[in-house]
Amino acid sequence: MKRLFIFLTIVSLMSCEDEIFPTLNTNDPVIVVDAWINNKPEPQTIRLTRTQDYFTDQFSPGITGATVTVTDDDDVVYTFEEQSDGDYVWEPTEDRPVFGTSWKTYRLFIEIGNTTLQSNTLMGRVPEIDSIGFRFEPEDTFLPDSYFADVWARDPVGPGDTYWIKTWKNGEYLSKPGEISLAYDAGFSAGGNVDGLIFIQPIRDSINPFDQDDNDDFLSPYDPGDSVYVEIHSLSEDSYKYLTDIQIQTDRPGGFGELFATPLSNVGTNIRINSNGGEEKAIGFFNVSAVSTAGRLLDPDNLPGERPE
Amino acid sequence: MKKSYTLFLALIFLWQGATAQEKVTISGYLTDISNGESLIGATVYITEIQGGTISNVYGFYSVTLEPGTYNIEYRYVGYETISRTVELTGNQRIDIELGEVNQQLEEVVISAEPEDANVTSIEMSTAKLDIKTIQALPAFLGEADVIKSIQLLPGVSTVGEGASGFNVRGGGVGQNLVLLDEAPVYNSSHLLGFFSVFNPDAVKDVKLYKGGIPARYGGRIASLLDIRMKEGNAKEFEATGGIGTIFSRLALEAPIIKDKASFIVAGRRSYADVLAAPFTDVLDDGAALNFYDLTAKANYNINDRNRIYLSGYFGRDNFKFDERQGFSWGNSTATLRWNHLFNDRLFSNFTVFYSDYDYNLAFGENDRDKFEWDSRIRTTSFKPDFSYFVNTNNELAFGGELLYYRFDPANAVGVSDGESTDISLDPKYGLEASIYLSNDQNIGDNLSLQYGIRGSSFTYMGPGDVFTYAQAEVPGERREVIGVETADRREPIESYFNLEPRFSFRYQVNPSASIKGSYNRMAQYIHLISNTTASNPLDVWTPSTNNIEPQLGDQFTLGYFKNFGESNDYETSAEVYYRSTENQIDYIDGADLLINEFLEGDILSGIGRAYGLELYAKKNVGRVNGWVSYTLGKTELKVDGINQGDWYNTRFDQTHNFKIALFYELNERWSFSTNFTYLSGTPTTFPTARFEQQGYVIPYNDNDERNNIRIPDYHRLDIAATLKGRKYNRKGELRKNRDSWVFSVYNLYSRRNPFSIYFTQGTDRPVAAQPISTEAQQVSIIGSFFPSVSYNFTF
């Protein structure tokens, strides 16, 4: 997989790109709900903003004065308090140190003036991370002497579990659109027939950053002394499709790769709006995740990598 | 149904009436005297009746007349006319060999039709390119190319460099039927879309039907590209070849039995990787970037009444980043044909062909962890075709076709840490059967008609799972499976039947002008599934099923054709067309088209319309010749769930399409050519806003619009110069070998023509708690001029 990535990057250099500044049509701002909460023992944030014109380098404007609650199957109400410009936060308590339980359905309810927004989601389950491995590969055509990390976990039996694998290198979140890593069971899609397996290799290897230096040469993903920290977040099936769409719309290959690119289209939403006769629109997504985590330091004396049973 | 029955009776009546009289027939084959190649579309003109016929694709002609004495002229552009005076008392076989005119300047022969065919022939909306013209046009990297050349004709376009295939009158790439010696070629492109798979050294004749498609052909709704291979020199050994910048070619042809049997074998291979190998280590561990193809054909003239042809094509493209990983694709076709003359007036051809297109991808650096996937479509067919030359005013054609399809959308295996998982999808099967009957009729001196009907059927059959899908709650969303049944082997799952009427007329206003019109209905039972910006080799073909209905297209055309000058020095034409289509395929947002068992749930269906005006002017004679073509067109779709259910432009809608091709013959050795292309930018979708979700910046289009904006216009100028080798050697003798150098520059003024525009948050990793800026990038696949040199030879 890494070779494919690098190959495409090199092939892309054969074509050329120019930044352009077209005039775009604009629209009245639309409500955006960014409600991805999880069961990590920490405050949970739901962000309410509005869309802004495409060419900008500002944060989206927050929506203030809203009421935000999440209710579970047992009618337990979690209230998200407005903390700062558009951020609504639920704080863990001693009684409830974490948010949510797998296989429960959660209902989001938001009130902004006359407008109400609602959404439901099912909190999925997540496998424990068995281990994180490192391996060394000597210099080849595309890469210098390199250390690669891989994450090992086995998808639980039962089809339809979906995950978002997030990685931090030395505390820095790998936040490029191209670094979004999603799994459907142990593979990439529903038709994959990969239920109950160890994550397939491209998914295990998806925790490596491929950065380039100032000369556009590729760097080793990890160096001795680096840390890697991985979180696997469970997704609802709708959230999985939503993130897949986000990946398609944000991870643009550029260059030659555009021959294989799909055209721009809107990503979906699971937010329903009732603006009581108004013309407000809302987009965005609500998901509650179970999370498992693991981390490791790269110690070159302790290689090559081990395999889990 | 009743209508066609009446028509059939009328035709039978005609036939009966004609055969009842005591008439005699002259018939035979027309061939080139230098190499024995049959001449397609040569004229047989009988002075006494001021009319005649045209040789068919196998070079056969047949004319039935009252007994008497006739003067017959055999004519073919660029060839010496042969006249024969024949006293006809009984049926007579006359095979004629024509020789090329020995012109001082070998002018480019733009058309192989008789000089006034554009006006006098019933055909409209067709374009024929002689292989010599194709070779004279400036080409990308100096390589003559069939598909690139037809794009210089009105009504034909492409969405950009690197895109596979071509678009005709607003139709999709998968709506063209591309036939190589009768066998369909599913992907006509090498190296994505930079070259086409047809080796010009082995091609004899190229004809594109954009409208008025005869009843003989069916299966795609936009166009038919009929490519005929050379038979191979039946007189003597001949080798043709070329050494180019990107690939080399060699074609060998020779008689097996002189004038009876011959063959041609032609191959090409790209060698950028071979040349680069000593200078880079990129290729050391098995990486490859190449393509090759092999075209071969043999024919045997058994006797006066029987001739067989065996032809085949095999080609492959390889993109490999090491020994184990990469992707490749290729077509292979094989055709066996038997021409049989039942009598002097009943010509028949029986074709059996096999066509196979496949691609495969492989990832994974070792056997414990890998992913392998291949996909293919295979077609086997039997196709009998008959021509009955009733009299000089009627030519009846009838026959049928039986096509058996097998689709393998995915044979795929994933191995994860030694655990292997088969993620293959079941194959799908289909049977397409059709019969047709049509007649070409002359009524009086000025009116010709061609009318016919094609009945086609398609059966989607088992074995396999048959899915039923729920209606989408909101149009444009994924439809969920609500039922699964299992079909047995050969069990019909769904059947479709369509009647496809075809009609054309030509009215000769005066000897140099005519009005032509046509109507045709076409049905298409297999669909090319592609939602990328441009068609590419990974697109999958899928049959009509219980969930996907066959595509239907109705096209109307009307045109005015006028020639000027003493010997039709200038040809002009103006045509308008309108096509409405049904069951056009589009996709839900975020559709998953590859290895998806529930693909049908991601497919949307709608209607389409395409209309336009095509203008064409051509200068046939003189040192400077060439043509100008202009198309004003529009093509749209209306699909529930896209663009809020309103009409939207297709991705390949181009308002203006303007081309010039010019040839200049300086002297015996030097000739020059140039072409200029101007195209309106293709439609694309721009966002109206952006929003953030979990730190990613996502484009948003407020009204769910599709293709609401156009990318900037495309224009390009190419030039080429050809230097022919000396005709005589130092002793003043005519050289047997001929050779030439071709120098060309593609995209002379280095325009960065836009291929697409995309919107992105940039490639840098966003920094936490910092806002992200967004930008628009315009991609040019070819951003500079491309010079090239190639050397061509024949001996």
Interchain CB distance below 8 Å, A30 and B691:
yes
User: What pLDDT, in 10s, does the model give residues B574-616?
Assistant: 999 999 999 999 999 888 888 888 899 999 999 999 999 999 9
Question: If you classify domain B126-750+782-794 with CATH, what class do you get?
Answer: mainly beta
Q: What is the pLDDT of residue A9?
A: 52
CB contact, 8 Å: A245 with chain B?
A: yes
Q: What is the pLDDT of residue A7?
A: 53
Query: Using CB atoms within 10 A of its CB, is residue B217 exposed (0-12), middle (13-18) or buried (19+)?
Result: buried
The answer to the question of residue A227 being in a domain is yes
- A-interface mutation test, from B467, B532, B600, B696, most A Cβ less than 10 A away: B696
Interchain CB distance below 8 Å, A265 and B685:
yes
Interchain CB distance below 8 Å, B538 and A260:
yes
Q: What is the pLDDT of residue B729?
A: 77
Pairing of strands B464-469, B447-461: unpaired
Give the residue from B578, B651, B659, B595 showing the smallest Cα distance to B137. Answer: B659
Per this entry, what is the length of chain A?
Answer: 309
Spell out the residues 6+ positions from residue A173 whose beta carbon is closer than 8 angstroms to its own. A166, A167, B695, B768
Cβ contacts of B321 on chain A, cutoff 8 Å: 3-4, 7
Cβ contacts of B281 on chain A, cutoff 8 Å: 141
Same domain, A120 and A262: yes
Cβ contacts of A61 on chain B, cutoff 8 Å: none
What SS3 class is residue A7? helix
pLDDT-based confidence at residue B276 (cuts at 50, 70, 90): low
CB contact, 8 Å: A8 with chain B?
A: no
CB contact, 8 Å: A140 with chain B?
A: yes
Average pLDDT value for residue range A74-103: 92
Look up tokens 């002259």; give the residue. B26
Interchain CB distance below 8 Å, A52 and B419:
no
Interchain CB distance below 8 Å, A22 and B708:
no
**Residue among A246, A255, A266 whose CB faces B696 most closely:** A246
Structure tokens at B253: 């042809």
Pairing of strands B176-180, B223-229: parallel
Interchain CB distance below 8 Å, B688 and A263:
no
Look at residue B162 and tell me whether its pLDDT is greater than 80.
no
Comparing B453 with B284, the larger pLDDT belongs to B453
Interchain CB distance below 8 Å, A25 and B686:
yes
**Residue among B281, B417, B694 whose CB faces A198 most closely:** B417
Query: Using CB atoms within 10 A of its CB, is residue B648 exposed (0-12), middle (13-18) or buried (19+)?
Result: buried
**Residue among A7, A30, A201 whose CB faces B416 most closely:** A201
Look up tokens 């230096």; give the residue. A213
Cα–Cα dist B454/B459, whole Å: 17
Q: How far is A144 from chain B (nearest CA, A)?
A: 13
**Residue among A200, A211, A264 whose CB faces B414 most closely:** A200
Interchain CB distance below 8 Å, B685 and A255:
no
Cα–Cα dist B359/B187, whole Å: 10
The answer to the question of residue A82 being in a domain is yes
Look up tokens 């097996």; give the residue. B256
Same domain, A207 and A263: no
Structure tokens at B179: 């036939």
Cβ contacts of A51 on chain B, cutoff 8 Å: 689-691, 700
Are the C-beta atoms of residues B432 and B481 closer than 8 Å to each other? no
The answer to the question of residue A90 being in a domain is yes
Q: How far is A59 from chain B (nearest CA, A)?
A: 5
Same domain, A148 and A260: no
Asked which of A136-145, B16-25, B76-85, B608-617 is least confident by mean pLDDT, the reply is B16-25
Q: How far is A88 from chain B (nearest CA, A)?
A: 14
B68: left (phi over 0), alpha (psi -120 to 50) or beta: left
DSSP label at B606?
E
pLDDT-based confidence at residue B106 (cuts at 50, 70, 90): very low
Interchain CB distance below 8 Å, B689 and A52:
yes
The answer to the question of residue A16 being in a domain is no
Interchain CB distance below 8 Å, A194 and B321:
no
Cβ contacts of B681 on chain A, cutoff 8 Å: none
Look at residue B515 and tell me whether its pLDDT is greater than 90.
yes
Query: Using CB atoms within 10 A of its CB, is residue A254 exposed (0-12), middle (13-18) or buried (19+)?
Result: buried
Q: How many inter-chain contacts (A to B, CB under 8 Å) are there?
A: 269
Nearest residue of A to residue B598, measured between CA atoms: A191
**Residue among B531, B534, B686 whose CB faces A24 most closely:** B686
Q: What is the pLDDT of residue B364?
A: 76
Look at residue A306 and tell me whether its pLDDT is greater than 50.
no
Interchain CB distance below 8 Å, B685 and A263:
yes
Are the C-beta atoms of residues B378 and B526 closer than 8 Å to each other? no
Are the C-beta atoms of residues B697 and A22 closer than 8 Å to each other? no
**Residue among A189, A197, A245 whose CB faces B589 most closely:** A245
**Chain A, window 166-195: residues with a beta carbon less than 8 angstroms from a chain B beta carbon:** 172-180, 186-187, 189-194
Kindly list the domain boundaries of chain B, sorted by start residue. Answer: 2-102, 126-750+782-794
Domain count, chain A: 2
Cβ contacts of A180 on chain B, cutoff 8 Å: 696
Cα–Cα dist A192/B596, whole Å: 8
DSSP label at B549?
P
Cα–Cα dist B563/B111, whole Å: 14
Give the residue from B178, B227, B225, B222 showing the smallest Cα distance to B523. Answer: B222
Same domain, A93 and A175: no
Same domain, A150 and A296: yes
Nearest residue of A to residue B596, measured between CA atoms: A191
Interchain CB distance below 8 Å, B691 and A52:
yes
Look at residue B111 and tell me whether its pLDDT is greater than 50.
no
**Residue among B758, B765, B784 whose CB faces A252 most closely:** B758
Query: Does a cis peptide bond (omega within 30 degrees of 0) precede residue A304?
Result: yes
What ipTM was reported for this prediction? 0.93
Look up the domain containing A105 and give its range: 31-124+252-289
Look at residue B629 and tell me whether its pLDDT is greater than 60.
yes
What SS3 class is residue B630? strand
User: What pLDDT, in 10s, does the model give residues B71-103?
Assistant: 999 988 778 888 989 898 888 899 999 988 764
Q: How far is B765 from chain A (nearest CA, A)?
A: 5
What SS3 class is residue B9? helix
Asked which of A131-135, A160-164, A184-188, B161-165 is least confident by mean pLDDT, the reply is B161-165
Nearest residue of A to residue B419, measured between CA atoms: A197
Same domain, A117 and A95: yes
CB contact, 8 Å: A45 with chain B?
A: no
Same domain, A241 and A259: no
Residue at A43: amino acid letter:
P
Q: What is the pLDDT of residue B105?
A: 38
Domain B2-102 has CATH 3.30.300.30: no
In whole numbers, what is the pLDDT of chain A averaged over residues? Answer: 88
Interchain CB distance below 8 Å, A258 and B371:
no
Q: What is the pLDDT of residue B113?
A: 44
Cα–Cα dist A291/A308, whole Å: 21
Q: How far is A148 from chain B (nearest CA, A)?
A: 14
What is B539-595 written as a DSSP string? -EEEE--SSSPPEEEEEEEEEEEEEETTTT-EEEEEEEEEEEEEEEEEE-TT---SS
Look at residue A210 and tell me whether its pLDDT is greater than 80.
yes
Task: Give Cα separations from B362 to A194, B320, B514 (angstroms).
Answer: 18, 9, 57
Query: Using CB atoms within 10 A of its CB, is residue B706 exposed (0-12), middle (13-18) or buried (19+)?
Result: buried
Interchain CB distance below 8 Å, B693 and A177:
no
- A-interface mutation test, from B327, B366, B698, most A Cβ less than 10 A away: B698
User: What pLDDT, in 10s, does the model give residues B446-476?
Assistant: 899 999 999 999 999 989 999 999 998 888 8
Comparing A40 with B369, the larger pLDDT belongs to A40
The answer to the question of residue A14 being in a domain is no
Same domain, A46 and A193: no
Same domain, A174 and A237: yes
**Residue among B538, B701, B774 whose CB faces A56 most closely:** B774
Interchain CB distance below 8 Å, B780 and A54:
no
pLDDT-based confidence at residue A62 (cuts at 50, 70, 90): very high
Look at residue A8 and tell me whether its pLDDT is greater than 70.
no
DSSP label at B344?
S
Q: What is the pLDDT of residue B275?
A: 60
Query: Within a 10 A sphere around the Cβ of A214, how many other Cβ atoms?
Result: 5
Interchain CB distance below 8 Å, A263 and B533:
yes
Give the predicted TM-score (pTM) of the model.
0.89
Same domain, A105 and A166: no
pLDDT-based confidence at residue B104 (cuts at 50, 70, 90): very low
Asked which of B63-72, B121-130, B202-211 is least confident by mean pLDDT, the reply is B121-130
Same domain, A94 and A242: no
CB contact, 8 Å: A210 with chain B?
A: no
Same domain, A141 and A237: yes
Asked which of A5-14, B23-32, B209-218, B544-553 is least confident by mean pLDDT, the reply is A5-14
Nearest residue of B to residue A21, measured between CA atoms: B776
Task: Give Cα separations from A31 to A37, A49, A208, B139 (angstroms).
Answer: 19, 6, 35, 53
